[in-house]
Amino acid sequence: MKLIYTFLILCCWLSGSVHAQRLSINDCWKFAKGNIDMSMLSQQAVWTNITLPHTWNGYDGQNGGDDYYRGTGWYMRALSFDKNDRGKCIYLRFGAANYLTEVYLNGVSIGTHSGGYTSFAFDITPFVRYDMSNQLLVKVSNVDGLPIPPLSADFTFFGGLIRGVELIKKNKLHITAEDYGSNGVYVRQDKVSDKEAMLSFTAKVRNTEKKAQKAVISFLIKERDGKVLKETKEEKMILPGTTMPITSTFRIDNPHLWNGKKDPYLYTAEVKVKVGSEIADNYTFPLGIRYYSIDPDRGFILNGHSYPLRGVSLHEERKNKGNAVSDTERKEDIDRIIAMGSNYIRLSHYQHGDFTYRYLDSLGIICWTETPVINKIKDTEEFAVNCENGLRSLIRQLYNHPSIVVWGVSNEINYRKGPNPVPLIERLNKLVHQEDPTRPSTLAAMFSERPTNLITDVYSNNRYDGWYYNTVEEIGTFADKLHQKYPQRCIGFSEYGAGAHPYQHQEGNGKPDIDGHWHPEGYQTYFHEGYLKAIQQRPYLWSTSVWAAYDFASDSRNEGNQPGINDKGLITHDRQIKKDAYYFYKVNWNPEPMVYICERRFTGRTQPETSVRLYSNCERVILKLNGEEIPLEKRENHIFVSGTIALKAGVNHVEALAYQGDKQLEDKVVWYYLSEN
């Protein structure tokens, strides 16, 4: 069966409202660690000054031992409101808190949120004191065993207010901010092609007045130059104390399509809520229009053309910071991936920060995003409801992003022993289609044949042939057998990777002990050379993503001489070293001319003979050893290999020269032969 999803979706790049105030309150917080009763905070808490985002596991969650603090932390901040805020509706919005949160204002409970990575908001208007200080207290827990996903995973569960917090001040008639943390505006396509786009807008308008309000809701679409392309208006009577979904439809002839990296064109859309002659609220955001399909034989097809999705998986975390990263750091991490030539990112294993999706939209990078139902489940209704709420929040908050093509409902859900996950995955799959009929559901499977794999519309495998099991050469055979057995299923590789320490090296491609302290970089390179060759020969793989873009914290691990770190990244945890495999993908995915000598950090050589391996996509490449030219064999995928060369005792200069037209590039390394003589 061929799965076709045509849709229009919106992104929120430079989005916002001029009639609602959004005030960041990331500064001036105090933090106290410990499971302290709120009534005893003044006596027992030891407060430190912090700025958001924040985690209490930045260091102990990455140093190994699986003993990082899983408990409670308290956050406190003063808030002030003046007479200008009277008559407003005031929301408190959290970017994310990991992963059970209780919020108090002036000693009164405002609400509780279960879930570690989605945004959430509370209407705090009834609890605000004007012209005096207000005390905001937030209790966050990442204690083990809560009925909240994830229960188990190969990464650290960093506790704290891991994203920013803001105040949103709106008029009493406004677009709601309480619809599962979303912006309250959704656009769905009904039909999109090169010739036309049929669009459906929905804005959820809330009236907190004590009387009904007559409102005119305008929906606009503008060209990039600001010219209004389409506009519709809906006049509605909004009853007091209600939230009303207002809908409108558009037809756009010959739409300028959002076309991935080739042309990520964005219109501008706006929703305005007007009472009389006054604008009560508005929301403006970029708009992307496109259609796509996922085919069992042809893979991913964007706007009618083949568009293989090839990229990496990305965790949102940094050394010493955990998940508490800034937008600047998010941008840096994505920019390195883009420089490698990726057109696709799997955002693992949870919802990432808002900036990430906006930035991917603007770049034309396609992504998979998912909810953190990982490894195992609890067979309780409370756990199932928390899973559903997390998935619903994910979809509603990110509904309008053109970069997203699938909703992931789980990862390796059969990996740990526990209750049968099939009923839960069926519920989540159903929810995806209820919330968003325009995108397919998916999951990432550790085992290739499990009942859960047949539930979602498409799926992918996490494969480690050549690392945890089998050999690198067997990955192609595995994929072909699965494709032949399930010819109507769309399959991909959601993970594949091997560990590497950039300062561990060996001669040859001998497989290391995966659980040991020796993870030579060269084996990772060999692994990825084999996988990319297999992937290129199989166009039916709708998406493939390297595991992972960066080394990341997993406090239970102790391997590769890096306790607490999963070292399968193409770039080190501190972002200082791009491993050789990074450049292998770059030479194949980025057409910019380059030349790169492999094993450059294998500087101390104990064998008198070796060979040189380098990557280049240039027309002509010359290799020199100590000034003398060395013959090179050109292999597939831009790999060049010398024959056996003899190193002299002491310093050896290795130089690669590459020529593309009138452009000359060079790369140099120094190796030392440590002769016994």
HSE toward the beta carbon, residue 256, CA cutoff 13 A: 13
DSSP 3-state helix, strand, coil percentages of the chain (rounded to 5)? Answer: 15, 40, 45
Angstrom distances, CA of residue 427 to CA of 202, 392, 421, 441: 25, 12, 10, 12
- Strands 366-370 and 344-347: what pairing? parallel
Which helix (H) or strand (E) covers residue 389, if one does?
A: helix 381-398
Q: Are 310 and 342 in contact (CB under 8 A)?
A: yes
**Roughly how many angstroms between the first and final C-alpha of the chain, as a whole number?**
68
For 418-452, give the DSSP string: -S--HHHHHHHHHHHHHH-TTS-EEEEESSSS-GG
Ranges of beta strands (E only) in 395-542 are 404-411, 441-445, 459-463, 491-496
At 574 the three-state DSSP class reads: coil
Contacts of 538 (CB under 8 A, 6+ apart): 476, 479, 480, 483
From the CB of residue 178, how many other CB atoms can be counted at a distance below 10 Å? Answer: 17
Amino acid, res. 375:
N
* Active-site choice (370, 412, 559, 655): 412
Q: Which of 31, 36, 76, 79 is nearest to 55 (CA)?
A: 31
Q: Are 610 and 584 in contact (CB under 8 A)?
A: no
Angstrom distances, CA of residue 105 to CA of 35, 52, 94, 131, 368: 19, 18, 14, 15, 37
Token pair listed for 451? 């009942």
495 is catalytic: no
Q: Cα(612)–Cα(373) distance, rounded to whole angstroms?
A: 45
Q: Are 610 and 507 in contact (CB under 8 A)?
A: yes
Measured N-to-C along each axis, helices 381-398 and 422-435 cross at an angle, to the nearest 10 degrees, of: 30
Helices (H) and strands (E) in the chain, counts: 8, 44
Angstrom distances, CA of residue 321 to CA of 19, 56, 143, 501, 566: 35, 9, 19, 21, 16
Q: Hey, which residues does 445 pair with through a beta bridge?
A: 461
Q: Which of 41, 156, 58, 143 is nearest to 101 (CA)?
A: 143
For 137-186, give the DSSP string: EEEEE--TT-SSS-SS-SS----B--S-EEEEEE-SEEE-S-STTS-SEE
Amino acid, res. 248:
S
Task: Just list the catalytic residues.
Answer: 412
